[in-house]
A and B are shown apart, each in its own frame.
Chain A
Amino acid sequence: MSKSWIDEALAQTEQGRDGLAAEGRRQLPLADREQQVLDRIDRARRRRPKVREERITMSHGSGGKATQTLIEAVFLDAFRNPLLEPLEDAASLTVGGARIALTTDSYVVSPLFFPGGDIGDLAVNGTVNDLSVSGARPLYLSAGFILEEGFGVADLQRVTESMREAAAAAGVHVVTGDTKVVQKGKADGCYINTAGVGVFERDTALGVAQAQPGDAIIVSGPIGDHGITIMLARGELDIEADICSDTAPLNGLVASLLDTVPGVRAMRDATRGGVATILNEIARAADVGVLAVEDEIPVRPEVRGACELLGIDPMYVACEGRLVAVVPGEDADRAVAALRAHPLGEQAAVIGHVRAEQPGIVQLKTAFGGTRIVDLLVGDPLPRIC
C-alpha cells in the first residue's frame, strides 16, 4: 500500500464537496453541517468500490466490506453478466425450459471437527442452504477435495461419512467430484468445494432487492452458534461453553415457509458476516432503510456471554442453519408461525422492519433504549469459520 491512494482519496473528497466553501458551512447550525457530512459520506459509499491493497489480506475473506469490495471490483468486473449481477446466494438460470438454481461454495473451516458437526456436513448443508434460500429445491451436488499430503485417511472417511449422512438428510445426491493432493504445508488437512444444482418448482422470484417499506424481517432461530462454537473449538481461548454448531439443511424449513407464505420476498442464510451483513445487503440492494430491534433478536445466553467476553457483536457471528427472511408486513405472524412449527425454526422471531427512511442504512434500537447504526463488518474477528 503506497501513500498515493491517500492523495487520490483526498482529491476525491475535495471534488465531492459540491463547492461548499468552508466559510459557507460554518454559518450553518451544527446539526445541518453534520447532515451535510453524512450526505457526503453516503455519496462516497455509493461510489464504485476499488481494491486498494496490493495483496490479498485476511479481511478479503471475512464476508464484510473488504469481501464485498473484492467481489465487486475484481470478480464482478471480470465476469459481469445479468445472471451474476444480482449477487444472490445462487444464480437462477433457465435451461431447456426449466428454471434451475446453481451455486458453489468452498469450505476451509479450522478445526475440521467441532461440536455439532465437521467440515463434511458443513460442505453439504452450506450449499444446500444457498440453493434453498434462493427458493429452489436442492437436487445434486458436486464435491471437490483438496487434500494435504499426510492427512489421515480415517479422518477423510469420517468427513465423507458425515457428508453422506448430511446429503441423505437433505435429500440430495453427490453425483460428481474431484480430488487433488498438495504437498505438506500447502494446505491445512482438507479443503472441500461443493457446487449444487436445484430446481425452482414455485413461481416465485426471490431477491433482497425486492424488500419494500413495511416488510418484516424474520430470523429463524438463535444466531451466532456456529461462529462461537468454532472459535471455542480452536482452544486458543480459555473459555468453555456448552454450545454446538447449528449446521443443518434448511430446505425443509424453507419449504414450510413458502407453503404458508408464498409472498416471501427474499431469504438469505446467515453465514459469514452474520445477520448484520444480511440486513445491510437488504438495505443496499433495495435502497431501503432497515430498523432492527436488539431485544427481539434471539441469541443463546452462552453465545451472548462469550461475545461479551470477546467484545464481539453476535449480529456479525456466523450461523450455518439459520435463515433471514423478508416478508410483507401483513404476513409476518403467519410466517413466524410456519417457521416455529418446524423443528429448526422453533425460536423464529421478527427482528425488524424495512422502512423508507434513511435508505441504505441499518439502524438498531438497542436494548438500552438508544439508536445506533449497524454497518458492514470491517476486518475479521473469526477467520476460517466455514
Chain B
Amino acid sequence: MRFVDEFRDADKAHALAAKIAALCEPGRQYKLMEVCGGHTHTIYKHGLEDYLPESITLVHGPGCPVCVIPMGRVDDAIHLASQPDVIMTSFGDMMRVPGSGGSFFDANAEGTSIRMVYSPLDSLKIARQNPDKQVVFMAIGFETTAPSTAMTMIRAAAEGLTNFSVFCNHVTIVPAIKAILDSPDLRLDGFIGPGHVSTVIGCRPYEFIAKQYGKPVVVAGFEPLDILQSIYMLMLQLSQGRSEVENQYSRVVPWDGNVVALKAIGETMELRPYFEWRGLGFISHSALKVREKYAAMDAELLFQVPGVRVADPKACQCGEVLKGVLKPWECKVFGTACTPETPIGTCMVSPEGACAAYYNFGRMNRNRVAEAAEVGRA
C-alpha cells in the first residue's frame, strides 16, 4: 500500500538499526522517552524493539489521551449521560475506561445512551436527528483532537444547534513534559517528540527541553521507520553532544504548527487554572475548558456535574507508568488483577496505553526471542 509500506520496509530498518548500534558508546545506557501513546502503540505493534541494542531503553511517556483522564471525570461523564434525555457521544477508546462505578459500557448496560463516534462532527448529525435530546460530546485528547472539537463547536454555533454541548477534557502536552522533566525519579537522555500534537502546535514549544534541560528532542512520525529514524537522530545528537529540537516528521509537521487550528482552539477554549491528570495529580494550566463565548455549549455549565475527586485504586500504578518510572510489567497488578478485559488503570485500556500495548503485543521475553532466532540461524 502506497504511503504506508515505504515506512515499514524491513531492509531500511536493518540498515538504520546498524547505524544506531554504531552510535552507542560502550558501557553507556540510553533512556529515550516516546512522549506519545501513538508511538508506544507503533513500537509494540511492529515489534520495533527487536531492532534496538540492549543499551537503548524506550521509556513510555504520558501522551495517551485516555490514560490521563482521572476516574472522577469518568464518573462525571457517566453522571451527565444518565441525565434524562441525554445522548453522550465519545471516542471508542473511552468506552472501557473504568470509573469508580464502572465504564461507559457498563453504564450503557444500565440504561444510558453513550454512543461511539469516529469524529466529533458525527455528534452534530446525532443532534440534528434527535432534536428532543441533548447531545453531549465527551471531548478528550491533546492538541491533536482539540481543533476538531473546536470546529464542531463553531459549526454547531453557525447552524444554530441548541441541543449540542461539550464535556471538555482536553489537555495540553507541554506542562506534562515539564512535570516529567522536573520529576526526580527519572533520568532521560532524550525525547521522541509527539507527532500529531506537533502538527497543531509546531516544534517551537519544545525548545525549552533542549535549551533549559539540555535534552535533545526529535518530533517523530508514526510509522515504525519514522520512529527508528528519530532514534537514530537522537543518538546522533547525543554522540555529538548536541541538544536541539529536530523535526523528523516534516512531511506532516510544519515548524510553526497549524495557525488555523490554533485559532479555532483559541476561539472556543481557554486554559483552565489547573486540571487533575491521572496518576500525575493536579498540573496548573494543563487543560482546556470551553470559553465563556460558547457557554451555551459547555456541558459543565448546562448540567450539574458532581466534580468529585476519586482517588485511584490503591494498587494502581498508572502514575508511575505514565511518568515512565515503571515499565508496565513492573506494576504490581499488571497482567493479573489488571488486564485489558478487566482494567484497573487507564493505561491498560487505550490501545495507546503502555500497559495495553505491552500486554497485547509485547508480552514476551525479548532475550528468549533473540536466543531462539540465533538458534534458528545456526
**Chain A residues in contact with chain B, CB under 8 A?**
1-3, 5-6, 9-10, 12-13, 16, 31, 33-35, 37-38, 40-41, 44, 52-59, 65-66, 69, 236-237, 301, 304-305, 308, 310-311, 357-358, 361, 363-373, 375, 378-379, 381
Contacts and interface: CB of A to CB of B under 8 A. Distances in A.
Contact of A369 (B51, B336, B341, B372): B51
A361 B372 CA distance: 15
The 8 closest A-B pairs by CB, nearest first: A370-B47, A9-B337, A41-B335, A369-B10, A55-B109, A378-B340, A368-B46, A372-B361
Interface in B358-378: 359-369, 372
Contacts of A35: 365, 368
Contacts of B8: 367-368
Given A370-B51, A372-B362, 7 more contacts: A1-B102, A9-B338, A59-B96, A59-B105, A368-B48, A370-B46, A378-B340
Contact of B313 (A3, A56, A371): A3
A32 to B, nearest CB: 9
25 contacts: A3-B313, A6-B337, A6-B344, A34-B327, A35-B365, A38-B364, A38-B365, A44-B339, A55-B109, A301-B1, A311-B351, A367-B8, A367-B10, A368-B9, A370-B47, A371-B47, A371-B50, A371-B369, A372-B46, A372-B362, A373-B363, A375-B340, A375-B360, A378-B340, A378-B360
A9 B364 contact: no
A369 B13 contact: yes
Contacts of B359: 375
B44 interface: yes
A379 B95 contact: yes
B106 A358 contact: no
Contacts, number: 153
A13 B336 contact: yes
A381 to B, nearest CB: 7
A237 B95 CA distance: 19
Interface in B149-176: none
Contacts of B92: 379, 381
A327 to B, nearest CB: 22
Contacts of B96: 59, 378-379
A373 B362 contact: yes
A368 to B, nearest CB: 4
Interface magnitude class on chain B: 35 or more
Given A41-B336, A53-B109, A31 B364 contact: no
Nearest to B14: A369
Contacts of A57: 105-106, 108-109
Contacts of A2: 101
Interface string B47-66: 11111000000000000000
B47 A366 contact: yes
Contacts of A308: 1, 4
A96 to B, nearest CB: 43
B325 to A, nearest CB: 15
B1 A65 contact: no
Interface in B78-123: 92, 95-96, 98, 100-103, 105-106, 108-110, 118, 122
Given A6-B313, A41-B363, A372-B362, A69 B341 contact: yes
A58 B103 CA distance: 12
A65 B10 contact: no
A277 to B, nearest CB: 14
Interface in B337-357: 337-342, 344, 351
B213 interface: no
A236 B126 CA distance: 11
Given A369-B14, A370-B48, A370-B50, A34 B365 contact: yes
Contacts of A363: 364
A44 B335 contact: yes
A222 B48 CA distance: 26
Nearest to B315: A10
Interface string B312-337: 01010000000000010110111111
Contact of A6 (B315, B330, B335): B315
Most chain A C-beta atoms within 10 Å of own C-beta, residue among B46, B96, B101, B327? B46
A328 B336 CA distance: 35
Most chain B C-beta atoms within 10 Å of own C-beta, residue among A6, A44, A357? A6
B37 interface: no
A360 B157 CA distance: 54
A186 to B, nearest CB: 16
A34 B10 contact: no
Interface in B272-310: none
B19 interface: no
A75 B364 CA distance: 32
Contacts of A365: 47
B105 A44 contact: no
A368 B47 contact: yes
Nearest to B365: A35
B118 A55 contact: no
Contact of B341 (A34, A41, A364, A378): A378
Contact of B342 (A5, A237, A364, A366): A5
